[in-house]
Amino acid sequence: MAACKYCGEKAGFLSNKHYFCELKYKQGKQRVAQMVEYILRNGGEFSSLKKRIKEIAISSAVRLQELDAIYIKTFNKAVNSLIEEGHFTEAIEDRIAEFQQAFQLSQEMLDQDGTLKRVAKLSIIRDLDKGLIPEPRMVVESYLPFHLQNTEQLIWIFNDVECYKQNPNLQADTSLRMLGKNEKRHYYRKVDEKSETVKMVQMQHMGDGTCALTNEHVYFTSGNKKYKLKINNIASTEAFKDQISLFREGFDSDAQLFKNIDGVFMYNAINRLIS
């Protein structure tokens, strides 16, 4: 006769668990998730929360090794919901830092679904709205293939970016709408899925590489090809979910399109830097 995997007592013929033990286990996990989501949304003492969670885990037979998975799943759900609801604030950003430190969760663990990157980008947009040059929110572990000037601050870097250049000899896709310099798109909500792809029949592939945004330039490099566009020379942009087109001042047929990039973030950041 097998033992119950939750309480260790005999579980009965052809069974490895008691019904009520399993129910208590599931309720314990649910309670932990509810408490974590509550404190992320409303604040509270993380030291007290940790103590209470440990008590629940012991009484519900939730293994301590399982708690990290609960924390991460709940974190992603709560933070993304707050962003979608438009309730993301500096206080919540501070709360996230406390949460990460209290439960000793690495950035890699919390960013499995890209949630921490999304938080960092929102923080950058908020700083730019205040007229501030954002502090670095990402660590570049490899060699940066651009020579930044003394006054430049790296804002974000994207890898595996495809770069295309508009070919004036091919007819452009007239379904795309030009967005003016001073027009701002709301970054806090998802982009319409129907408008996330640009037809590329009029674009010439220039290479795949690294794209970086600073407070002064947009950079792109692919092998021995290098591209630099001054922010103040950008006349307009076209932004979609995973790409952005940049048009230089006085060069309507000289668009640069970057694909596999957060186009909406780039659009919002660039337009705030121009403003």
Q: Is the per-residue pLDDT at 199 higher than 60?
A: no
Tally of CA atoms within 13 A in the half-sphere of 167 that contains its CB: 11
Please state, as a whole number, how many other Cβ atoms lie within 10 Å of the Cβ of residue 137: 16
Q: Give the mean model confidence (pLDDT) for residues 56-66.
A: 91
- In this predicted structure, what is the pLDDT of residue 188? 42
Residue given tokens 């890699």 in the structure block: 108
Q: Give the mean model confidence (pLDDT) for residues 193-221.
A: 77
Q: Give the mean model confidence (pLDDT) for residues 171-175.
A: 42
Please provide the average confidence, as pLDDT, over all residues in the chain: 84
- In this predicted structure, what is the pLDDT of residue 174? 38
Answering whether pTM is above 0.85, one says no
- In this predicted structure, what is the pLDDT of residue 168? 57
